[in-house]
Amino acid sequence: MLKAPVASQRDVASSEAYALAVDAMGGDRAPDIVLAGLELAADRHPHAKILLIGDETVLKAALPSYPKAARICDIRHAAESISMEMKPTAALRVRGSSMRLAMEAVAAGEAQGVVSAGNSGAMLALAKIIVKALPGISRPAMVAVQPSARGDTIMLDLGANIGCDARNLVEFAIMGEAFAQAELGLPKPTIGLLNVGSEELKGDEKLRQAAEVLRESALGEQFYGFVEGHDITAGTTDIVVTDGFTGNVALKTGEGALKLAFALLKRVFKTNMLTKLGYLLVRPGLERMREWIDPRRYNGAVFVGLNGIVVKSHGGADGESFASAIDVAMDAVTHRLNDKIRARLDQLGMLNNNDQGLETHSETSKEPVS
């Protein structure tokens, strides 16, 4: 495969551009799990072209062991890498890191997206500075797919932004819609705004304001209203919108509770000979269940709202889960996630990054700011 020509001469959407730039050095067991993941991904995306960025010597030595990956990858040397422990501010100063070069390939139009299993704080900081936010998006967000009783639920933000205002929440809804269309193939996904239960406490001003804007917008038909914590796993809506602090806690609390359920279940099955026999009888179903709710299946957390597709794979991922992060990125590329976001922002008059619509609502609101 020929090395791609200079970035600036290329059209991002061109079929000759790299689909993805992959940070070969990110994650606890890089580059092995990255290469193992690409080997699996090559079967699923045989026509994808991947720009593999990392230590050239290491990669040239390792790649022949992954023949399918070798067929779709071009190697680009990066002299440095960012450790999992490095602070984002320090990571930004490492000019020649594999993660940074991957982001730069996207910014230059060489690749449409980037996948890394590296340090997520560094990744978010680099993405914001190098790939940059889409016009009309003030806060890129972290989004992922989670298991629910009705199939898959999409939640955002999962930690990219601690404090959020009403405008941010509306942007999250727009990005969530595009993500649900691109990743789950839902033409008109429903949207819920995460809130607390008691009527009295329901929502502070930013939540009420965001709800009002969404209800009256072109997304109004898809806007369900407020949802609560239990609605995430119930699958009440296809998309759950919340600030990054709450979203991060909810994501990890849900994962923790499922883990607790399996730990308790294991104890039940180990009680005696009869329960052990019981386990043997249900094992296949249990394993399917465990796989289905396995966070690895939902491994591709995506930073949305950037001028390119940016996918974060778990740091402790294995090859299978890295491949699933590649799948998520490829879906976003193929289904033109960002075009969908742009179109919706345009329709809602939010392309110019101003807060006009929301400020108007704020001024006319009868509710005191709590």
Q: Which residues bind its own copies (CB under 8 A)?
A: 87-88, 120-121, 124-125, 147-149, 159-160, 162-163, 194, 196-201, 204, 228-234, 242, 244-246, 248-265, 267-269, 271, 274-275, 277-282, 285-286, 288-289, 292-293, 370
* Closest by CA position to 50, among listed 112, 104, 118, 100: 112
Is the Cβ of residue 69 or residue 302 nearer to its own copies in the bound state? Answer: 302
Is the Cβ of residue 180 or residue 250 nearer to its own copies in the bound state? Answer: 250
How would you list the strands of the sheet with 151-156, edge to edge? Answer: 73-77, 50-54, 18-23, 111-116, 309-312, 301-304, 141-148, 151-156, 239-241, 191-194, 223-227
Q: What are phi and psi of 192, to 5 degrees?
A: -120, 150
| Contact between residue 236 and residue 146 where contact means Cβ atoms under 8 Å apart | no
Give alpha helix (H) positions in 45-112: 56-62, 67-72, 88-92, 98-107
Is the Cβ of residue 286 or residue 343 nearer to its own copies in the bound state? Answer: 286
Would residue 215 be called left, alpha or beta, if left means φ above 0 and alpha means ψ between -120 and 50 degrees? alpha
Closest approach of Cβ 188 to its own copies, in Å? 24
Is the Cβ of residue 125 or residue 133 nearer to its own copies in the bound state? Answer: 125
Q: DSSP 3-state helix, strand, coil percentages of the chain (rounded to 5)?
A: 50, 15, 35
- Which 8-state DSSP code applies to residue 150? T
Letter for the amino acid at 123? M
Is the Cβ of residue 131 or residue 333 nearer to its own copies in the bound state? Answer: 131
Closest approach of Cβ 9 to its own copies, in Å? 35
Is the Cβ of residue 133 or residue 265 nearer to its own copies in the bound state? Answer: 265
| Contact between residue 24 and residue 313 where contact means Cβ atoms under 8 Å apart | no
Closest approach of Cβ 186 to its own copies, in Å? 20
Is the Cβ of residue 147 or residue 189 nearer to its own copies in the bound state? Answer: 147
Closest approach of Cβ 237 to its own copies, in Å? 13
Is the Cβ of residue 39 or residue 243 nearer to its own copies in the bound state? Answer: 243
Is the Cβ of residue 58 or residue 234 nearer to its own copies in the bound state? Answer: 234
Closest approach of Cβ 6 to its own copies, in Å? 33
Task: Report how far apart, in Å, the C-alpha atoms of 154 and of each of 108, 141, 170, 308, 313 are.
Answer: 30, 12, 15, 20, 16
Does residue 48 sit in helix, strand or coil? coil
- Whether the ω angle into residue 11 lies within 30 degrees of 0, i.e. cis, is no
Closest approach of Cβ 295 to its own copies, in Å? 10
Residue 233, both tokens: 């796993």
Closest approach of Cβ 58 to its own copies, in Å? 27
**142 CB burial (10 A radius; 0-12, 13-18, 19+):** buried
Closest approach of Cβ 45 to its own copies, in Å? 29
| Contact between residue 339 and residue 205 where contact means Cβ atoms under 8 Å apart | no
- Which 8-state DSSP code applies to residue 133? B
Closest approach of Cβ 244 to its own copies, in Å? 7
